[in-house]
């Protein structure tokens, strides 16, 4: 059974629509749309208010808008039942086996294929062995002639004909006919010492190859190993990614229960990245730790059930389903973003973030945009459009301003913290930001001095740390609790002490564990930093300086979390207090230590 790929989109006000992005093999798109329209006119399909084809060069997109009253799943089931959106693809494994036609099972077909390949390997090895033995036999004859060169020349000179010379060579030096003929055909140039060395090397290589071929023919295990190696080579040359998805249903699960593509896709963690050239793709999170893996400017950890958005400096944004992105080994091998969106490469990307379907349904989840001039805007995640080839305005950007970053908030519990280039920081309650529509510009978040821009923005709690980086490779973390809560649109407090001409390049919420901190410098270059290398400092102090690269200036800092949710890895006060209660008191701990020391001393004696 083959089904088209369908996504369900909620368009608000109790209405939804079905989006068909792929159709079964050998199904014509125009005929499918015509069939759906006919069924709607005949009253077989009910609940469809609009049907249109939005397919373009970016890909297929058939939109089926539904009425408020109808159940989307019921409509989709009818589409599968009455239209070619679901088809069956018949396969018969009929093959000639030993000259007889037979219908095979998959296992039998694979066994016949393997046996045939082993026979091919055996014949190839036998052919090469015979050829090598013939050549080695001739070379042995030439070596005999070269060792007895004067006698061979005298014998050939005295012979009356070629036949007599060949016969005399065979009798005197015990050669066969092929060896004797090769000696007679040997040109004079092969009598030099250099040519003799070449013959000797060729004979040695042939004898080694002959022993390898004999070992291969005499060992079924070696023949199977050779077959495995050969198949891997074929895979490297000719394989391409699977274009369909095979669904293995669990026990008790019917295929009729699995309707949309999102219900078939597991939430696998992936890294989504986009290069400066506009290539976008996804790969396994472990790739970031591989040596030689190129980390591009825009990268985020997400999963295959989420929608990733990338926003430009002018406030435009584009949404793409993570599951539809190609799996790649490097992001440079991804698909061109211009083919799946109307993004103009002249409009530079400034942020990348992902939203889950649960976030879009939540009444508290929101997206917070921050501009370089200090404007902050909060928009509910439910207002964000679903993935589409068309762009939408994430926030209005005033003339002379640019989008700096985008923060995703799961709830209203975390505070907003803004950091300026001159080392000032302000922390205020997230509830001070009233949710606004997409086209709004936002409100003032921080008072900035003339010529100073915002350098970073984070969402953090009282027990979190804020990690700072400066343009001169200063790196460190400061407890968020050291920054007093203030009202929005203040100058803030001094966060760092900077050198002359030094600026704050960026700030992130510090995450420990196996997270990866990325320092951006130069032209799209990246350096990884382990969380253990980030030292804590007090507010208003200078940062410790990281290993500085000559003539390179840090431009930004990012973090890729190793956990699903962005919870702190450090235990809170309640957990630490509970741990202290389980441990012995001070005097007990001291007595315990002394008793261990005494026991160790007695063992040494």
Residue 78: strand, helix, or coil: helix
Contact 381, 355 (CB under 8 A): yes
pLDDT tens for 513-530 read 778 899 988 877 888 888
Q: Indicate the average pLDDT of the chain.
A: 85
Residue 33: its H or E element: helix 29-41
62 pLDDT higher than 50:
yes
**HEC sequence for 298-357:** EEEEEECCCEEEEEECCCEEEEEEHHHCCECCCHHHCEEHHHCCCCCCCCCEEEEEEECH
Range in 115-124, 169-178, 338-347, 354-363 with the lowest mean pLDDT: 338-347
Give me the pLDDT at residue 405, please.
Answer: 94
Of the candidates 575, 578, 300, 580, the one whose C-alpha atom is nearest the C-alpha of residue 463 is 575
594 pLDDT higher than 50:
no
352 pLDDT higher than 80:
yes
The mean per-residue pLDDT over the stretch 307-321 comes to 91
- Alpha carbon distance 45, 236 (integer Å): 47
pLDDT tens for 369-423 read 999 999 999 999 988 887 776 788 999 999 999 999 999 999 888 999 999 999 9
Contact 443, 376 (CB under 8 A): yes
Hey, which bits of 389-524 come out as E strands? 392-393, 403-409, 415-420, 424-429, 443-444, 454-460, 465-470, 474-479, 493-494, 504-509, 516-521
- Alpha carbon distance 137, 170 (integer Å): 14
Question: Which tokens sit at 535?
Answer: 């030292």
Of the candidates 505, 506, 517, the one whose C-alpha atom is nearest the C-alpha of residue 561 is 517
Give me the pLDDT at residue 562, please.
Answer: 66
Between 577 and 349, where is the model more confident? Answer: 349
| Other residues' Cβ atoms within 10 Å of the Cβ of residue 377 | 25
Residue 164: strand, helix, or coil: helix
Within 13 Å and on the Cβ side, how many CA atoms surround 26?
5
The mean per-residue pLDDT over the stretch 206-234 comes to 94
Residue 7: strand, helix, or coil: strand
b/e burial code for range 152-187 (CB count within 10 A of at least 16 → b): beebbeebeeeeebbebbbeebebeeebbbbbeebe
566 pLDDT higher than 60:
no
286 pLDDT higher than 70:
yes
- Alpha carbon distance 19, 64 (integer Å): 6
Give me the pLDDT at residue 603, please.
Answer: 42
Give me the pLDDT at residue 257, please.
Answer: 57
Residue 248: its H or E element: none
Of the candidates 129, 151, 317, 287, the one whose C-alpha atom is nearest the C-alpha of residue 211 is 129
- Alpha carbon distance 429, 563 (integer Å): 25
The mean per-residue pLDDT over the stretch 227-253 comes to 78
Maximum separation of any 2 CA atoms in the chain, in Å: 118
Q: Which residues contact 200 (CB under 8 A, 6 or more apart)?
A: 143
The mean per-residue pLDDT over the stretch 447-458 comes to 94
- Alpha carbon distance 377, 202 (integer Å): 78
Question: Which tokens sit at 256?
Answer: 């009729």
264 pLDDT higher than 90:
no
134 pLDDT higher than 90:
yes
Residue 80: its H or E element: helix 72-82
Residue 17: strand, helix, or coil: strand
- Alpha carbon distance 168, 442 (integer Å): 106
- Alpha carbon distance 230, 224 (integer Å): 10
Where does the pLDDT of residue 294 fall: very low under 50, low under 70, confident under 90, or very high at 90 and above? confident
Give me the pLDDT at residue 249, please.
Answer: 60
| Other residues' Cβ atoms within 10 Å of the Cβ of residue 85 | 24
């Amino acid at each position: 059974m083959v089904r088209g790929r369908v996504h369900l989109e909620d368009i608000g006000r109790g209405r939804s629509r079905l989006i068909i992005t792929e159709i079964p093999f050998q199904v014509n798109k125009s005929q499918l749309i015509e069939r759906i329209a006919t069924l709607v006119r005949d009253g077989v399909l009910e609940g469809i208010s609009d049907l249109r084809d939005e397919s373009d060069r970016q890909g297929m997109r058939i939109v089926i808008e539904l009425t408020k009253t109808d159940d989307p799943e019921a409509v989709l089931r009818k589409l599968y039942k009455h239209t070619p959106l679901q088809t069956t693809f018949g396969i018969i494994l009929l093959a000639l086996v030993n000259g007889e036609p037979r219908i095979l099972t998959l296992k039998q077909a694979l066994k016949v294929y393997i046996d045939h390949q082993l026979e091919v390997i055996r014949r190839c090895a036998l052919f090469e062995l015979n050829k090598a033995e013939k050549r080695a036999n001739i070379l042995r004859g030439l070596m005999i002639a070269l060792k007895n060169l004067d006698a061979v020349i005298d014998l050939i000179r005295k012979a009356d004909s070629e036949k007599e010379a060949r016969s005399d060579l065979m009798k005197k030096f015990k050669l066969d006919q092929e060896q004797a003929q090769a000696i007679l055909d040997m040109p004079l140039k092969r009598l030099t010492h250099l040519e003799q060395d070449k013959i000797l090397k060729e004979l040695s290589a042939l004898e080694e190859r002959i022993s390898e071929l004999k070992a291969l023919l005499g060992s079924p295990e070696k023949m199977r190993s050779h077959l495995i190696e050969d198949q891997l080579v074929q895979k490297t040359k000719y394989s391409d990614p699977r274009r369909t998805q095979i669904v293995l249903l669990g026990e008790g699960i019917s295929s009729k229960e699995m309707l949309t593509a999102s219900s078939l896709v597991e939430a696998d963690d992936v890294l989504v990245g986009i290069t400066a050239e506009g290539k976008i793709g996804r790969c396994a999170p472990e790739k970031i730790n591989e040596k030689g893996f190129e980390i591009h400017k825009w990268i985020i950890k997400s999963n295959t059930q989420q929608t990733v958005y990338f926003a430009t400096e002018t406030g435009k944004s584009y949404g793409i389903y993570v599951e539809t992105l190609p799996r790649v080994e490097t992001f440079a091998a991804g698909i061109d973003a211009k083919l799946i969106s109307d993004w103009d490469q002249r409009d530079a990307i400034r942020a990348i973030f992902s939203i889950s379907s649960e976030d879009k349904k939540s009444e508290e989840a929101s997206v917070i945009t921050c501009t370089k001039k200090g404007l902050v805007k909060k928009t509910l995640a439910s207002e964000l459009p679903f993935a589409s080839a068309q762009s939408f305005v994430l926030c209005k950007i005033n003339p002379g301003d640019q989008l700096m970053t985008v923060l995703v908030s799961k709830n209203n519990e975390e505070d907003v913290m803004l950091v300026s280039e001159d080392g000032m920081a302000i922390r205020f309650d997230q509830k001070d930001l009233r949710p606004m529509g997409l086209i709004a510009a936002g409100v003032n978040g921080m008072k900035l001095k003339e010529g100073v821009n915002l350098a970073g923005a984070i969402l953090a709690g009282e027990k979190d740390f804020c990690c700072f980086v400066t343009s001169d490779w200063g790196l460190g973390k400061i407890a968020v609790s050291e920054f007093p809560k203030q009202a929005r649109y203040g100058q803030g407090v001094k966060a760092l002490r900077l050198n002359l001409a030094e600026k704050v390049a960026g700030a992130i919420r510090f995450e420990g564990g196996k997270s990866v901190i990325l320092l951006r410098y130069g032209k799209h270059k990246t350096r990884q930093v382990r969380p253990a290398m980030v030292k804590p400092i007090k507010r208003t102090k200078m940062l410790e300086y990281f290993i500085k690269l000559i003539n390179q200036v840090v431009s930004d800092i990012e973090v890729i979390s190793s956990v699903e949710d962005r919870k702190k890895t450090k235990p809170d006060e309640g957990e630490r207090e509970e741990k202290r209660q389980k441990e012995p008191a001070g005097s007990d701990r001291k007595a315990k230590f002394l008793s261990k020391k005494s026991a160790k001393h007695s063992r040494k004696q």
